[in-house]
Structure 1
Amino acid sequence: MAHILHLTERHLWDEARAAGSYEMSTRDRTLLDEGFIHCSLPHQLPHVAALLYGSPPARDDLVVLVIDEDLVDATIRYEPPTPGGEVFPHIYGPLPVSAVVAVESWPPTENAEARTPPPTL
């Protein structure tokens, strides 16, 4: 079971849970705008978070969606943002909330090992 990560704002995740699917691509950009949902591998997340929100972030409403790739219906492609660059996972379609197996605060708390499962709908 492979996990990929997506950093988002808590209110966007709350809205997605109510709707049944998540359709934001990255900060202020939707799946419709970009054509896919930007994701990261665990080692990539700190750099992505710093790029999008600063380090440390100037806000306290960020969460990391831990996504089980096997539960995503849409195509997932590993692609570089620029030719020859490091590859990042991209989800080419809506992310079903059922594919999110944990939700973590960002930046990580001292007890980051204890992942919080998403609430059951």
Structure 2
Amino acid sequence: MIYHVVSEPTWKAALDKGFYEAPSLATEGFIHTSKQEQVAGVLQRYYKDQPDLLLLHIDESKLTAPLKYELAPSVNQEFPHIYGPLNLDAVINITTI
């Protein structure tokens, strides 16, 4: 299982489109995701005090785009990156943050 943080309005727009593309897909070539033990750090570093956040629970075996684990030198940890749009059926649960 991997996880992705998204705003509720952004997720609702993805549901209308039928797939999800984070802004990072256009700028960096992939969608940032995390392992469960990395979520708290990601929230603290990048989403502090942001309202209306959701945590997508993604079954990586259902992804249609390639998944690669790559080192983030700033925190010296490997993070999962999705190299393409996120197919909605790979999201098996959504929790409010």
**Structure 1 length normalisation: TM-score?**
0.75
Task: Determine whether 1:78 maps to 2:78.
Answer: no
Q: Which runs of 5+ in 1 are unaligned?
A: 107-121
Q: Which residue of 2 aligns with 1:119?
A: none
Q: Which runs of 5+ in 2 are unaligned?
A: none
User: Which string of whole-angstrom CA distances, capped at 9 and with x for unpartnered residues, describes residues 41-94 of structure 1?
Assistant: 01100000111112xxx2330000000101101110011112992100000000
Task: Determine whether 1:38 maps to 2:32.
Answer: yes
Structure ranking higher on relative contact order (CA contacts 8 Å, 6+ apart): 2
Q: Out of 88, 92, 96, which is 1:101 matched to? A: 92
Q: Please list every run of at least 4 consecutive aligned residues from structure 1 whose deviation after the TM superposition is greater than 6 angstroms.
A: none
Confirm or deny: 8 A CA contact 2:24 2:32 kept in the other structure.
no
Q: Which residue of 1 aligns with 2:19?
A: 21
Pairs aligned (count): 97
C-alpha separation in 1, matches of 2:30 and 2:4: 12
User: Which string of whole-angstrom CA distances, capped at 9 and with x for unpartnered residues, describes residues 10-40 of structure 1?
Assistant: 111111111111000xxxx331111000000
Q: Secondary structure at the match of 2:76?
A: coil
Q: Which residue of 2 aligns with 1:60?
A: 51
Percentage of identical aligned residues: 37
Counterparts in 2 of 1:64 and 1:70: CA distance versus 1, 3 Å: same
C-alpha separation in 1, matches of 2:15 and 2:32: 18
